[in-house]
Amino acid sequence: MPYARSTDLAGVRAFVRSRAETLGLPPERTDLLVLAVSELATNTLQHTAGGGRVRVWADADDVLCEVVDHGAARVFGRVMPAAGEIRGRGLAIVERVCDEVSSTVGPTGTVVLLRLRR
């Protein structure tokens, strides 16, 4: 699903929720995936040009999601910012709510891959 404007974010969240539920992710895990994708898509719109796209699928044990944009590779292993900080929690939240997170840069853009076990 492509997105390019902040008004697209509700549709992205609804798409991820629908796909995750269809693929058998339990409700509480679905909520975590929706949160993670929302954080990533919001970052795309705030820090890159051209929008992005989201894809959700499953393998034997997990639901996977990729968020693709044209930003720089994401760096994970972040410390959660202090409570008084105004920004900087998005990627730290993504890491904490997903079982696995990785980022690669390729010819189609920067891909952040999320994995949640069912």
Q: Does domain 1-117 have CATH number 3.30.565.10?
A: yes
For the chain, the structural domain boundaries read 1-117
Its pTM stands at 0.93
pLDDT tens sequence across 14-48: 999 999 999 999 999 999 999 999 999 999 999 99
- DSSP 3-state of 103: strand
The b-or-e profile of 47-82 (16+ CB within 10 A means b, else e) is: eeeebbbbebebeeebbbbbbbbebeebeeebeeee
Closest alpha carbon to 17 in 34, 42, 38: 34
The DSSP letter of residue 110 is E
* CA gap 100, 116 in Å, rounded: 7
pLDDT above 90 for 98? yes
User: At 79, is the pLDDT very low, low, confident or very high (cuts 50, 70, 90)?
Assistant: confident
The DSSP letter of residue 7 is G
